[in-house]
Amino acid sequence: MAKLMRVAFIVHLFFFFQLSSLSAVYANPSLEEVKELLTKSLTLAQIDQEIERLSGQETVVSEQIRASGEDIQRQEQLLGRTRERVGQVLRAYYMGERDSLWLLLFSAKSFAEMIYTYNSLQLLFLNDKIVLDAYVAAYRTLLSTHDRLKANQAELAQVKAEFLHQRERTVALQQEIDRKLQEYPDAVPALTAQMNEVRTAYTTKILPLFQSYMGAVADTISRGFPELVQGPNAGRYLKGTTFQISDEELNRFFHEKNSRLTGLSFRFDGGKFHVIGKETDVEGTIVGHYTVEQNPNRLQFHVDQLSYNGTELDSTTNRSLEKDFDLTFSPEKLSPLLQATEVTTDKGMLTVKLKLKL
């Protein structure tokens, strides 16, 4: 009996230490799990920012729809008031009444009376023209307003769809975070604090950093690029109908033109335009590409990737910064006769093929 009790006691100790060791193993998440949680928290912060932007855009577009609706009502009222007068004028021409008025010239009893009759008829026909032109202009304005209203409604539908999509992403990410936190109840306070720090860092450090980078680049492109084909640079970068500049030359040009860009380096490679910024322990990278777009003709910049200290940001931040900061360049700023047909960024060179507008 004593021997049996000793065996039971040993088994009890075995399970106790096994459970204790398991508890120790699962008490804290691994470094990789913490990184994943913080990355998802950073993504949530970006989506929240995008949702806020979409909410503001929805308000603006809704106001435009309301204003367009009011414009349509006013224009329809104006058309209603002029439609009867236009009908009278058109009936007069259709029935030949206006043509018969010219016979009054032949019934004039003097040359002075003839001149007076002629001037009166001219005023009558001029007034008819004014009435008809006003009606046509009002009708065209009404059609244009209807088109604008349809465009606004389509934009609003797109904004709402994107809003719902981002909300769904938010819910899914939050559920993933909650499930992971449930696995480590003892670590929840510390993990929550770290995630809050990440969200705060996004709005106070990360986003302002990229806003500063893209704002400085956009400003320099807008103000400085025309100098590259004017004055002493006229034959250096623009040869025939081809504009070409190396990334080394662009680095020098940007650094000379804007002191805010001295901490940035620029590179053309693999069809991409790379912007790399380093400040003490922080590194931000912007990668994008240019395409030739029409109406108006321009080199349109698209943000493909943003990275902060090696962590890639969400695509919502890419789109937001792309809209807020225009790195687009129009050849018309160089000359109203120039039009871009092709753009490449490869092996350290930016090359733009141009043609003359005929």
Based on the fold, state whether residues 174 and 317 are members of the same structural domain.
Answer: no
* Same-domain status, 175 and 39: yes
Q: What per-residue confidence (pLDDT) applies to 42?
A: 93
Q: What is the pLDDT, as a whole number, of residue 22?
A: 33
DSSP 208-237: HHHHHHHHHHHHHHHHHGGGGGSGGGTTTT
Verify that 174 and 217 share a domain, yes or no. Answer: no
Same domain, 290 and 170: no
**Model pTM above 0.75:** no
How far is residue 197's CA from residue 199's CA, in Å, rounded to a whole number?
5
Last residue of a domain, one of 152, 183, 214: 183
- Is residue 170, in this structure, part of any structural domain at all? yes
- Whether residue 54 is contained in a domain is answered as yes
At which residue do the structure tokens 């060179």 appear? 349
Write the burial class of residue 37 (CB in 10 Å: 0-12 exposed, 13-18 middle, 19+ buried): buried
pLDDT > 90 fraction of the chain, expressed in percent and rounded: 45
- Domain membership flag for residue 282: yes
Does one domain contain both 234 and 271? yes
CB 264 within 8 A of CB 254: yes
User: What tokens appear for 30 in the block?
Assistant: 């691994």
Beta strands 264-269 and 242-246, pairing class: unpaired
CA 43 to CA 316: how far, in whole Å? 9
One-letter amino acid at 168 equals E
210 pLDDT band (50/70/90 cuts)?
A: very high
* Sign of the alpha-carbon dihedral angle for 189, 192, 194, 200: negative
pLDDT at 358 over 80: no
Choose between 282 and 275: higher pLDDT.
275
Residues 132 and 253 in one domain: no
Which pLDDT does position 315 carry in this prediction? 94
Per the domain annotation, does 2 fall within a domain? no
**The last residue of a domain, from among 155, 183, 211:** 183
User: Which CATH number goes with the domain that contains 39?
Assistant: 1.10.287
| Residue 52 shares a structural domain with residue 174 | yes
Highest mean pLDDT pick, 37-51, 85-99, 325-339: 37-51
What number is the average pLDDT over the span 269-276?
A: 96
Which whole number is the average pLDDT over 242-264?
92
Which one of 183, 211, 240 terminates a domain? 183
CA 188 to chain centre: 38
Tokens, residue 48: 């929240």
Look at residue 16 and tell me if it is in a domain: no
- 253 shares a domain with 176: no
User: What's phi and psi for 238, nearest 5 deg?
Assistant: -110, 110
Q: Are residues 119 and 232 in the same domain?
A: no
How confident is the model over 210-227, as a mean pLDDT? 90
Mind listing the pLDDT tens digit for each residue in 66-120? Answer: 888 888 888 777 777 776 665 555 555 555 555 555 545 556 566 565 565 556 6
Residue 8 is assigned to a structural domain of this protein: no
Does any domain span residue 25? no
Q: What is the signed CA dihedral for 70, 76, 78, 79, rounded to 10 degrees?
A: 160
Most confident segment among 113-117, 185-189, 235-239: 185-189
| Residue 92 shares a structural domain with residue 168 | yes
Does the pLDDT of residue 16 top 80, yes or no? Answer: no
Same domain for 172 and 290, yes or no, is no
Pair 338, 250 in one domain: yes
Residue 40 has pLDDT above 80, yes or no: yes
285 found inside a domain: yes
**Residue 227 pLDDT:** 82
Residue 288 has pLDDT above 70, yes or no: yes
Q: What is the mean pLDDT of residues 161-175?
A: 92
Domain that holds residue 77: 31-183
Q: Is 89 left (phi over 0), alpha (psi -120 to 50) or beta?
A: alpha
Least confident of 35-44, 82-91, 266-275: 82-91
CA distances, 297 to each of 103, 337, 339 (Å): 56, 11, 6
pLDDT given for residue 140 in this prediction: 80
Q: Domain count of the chain?
A: 2
Q: How confident is the model at residue 281 (pLDDT cuts 50, 70, 90)?
A: confident
The answer, yes or no, to whether residue 7 has pLDDT greater than 50, is no
Looking at residues 124-145, what average pLDDT do you find? 72
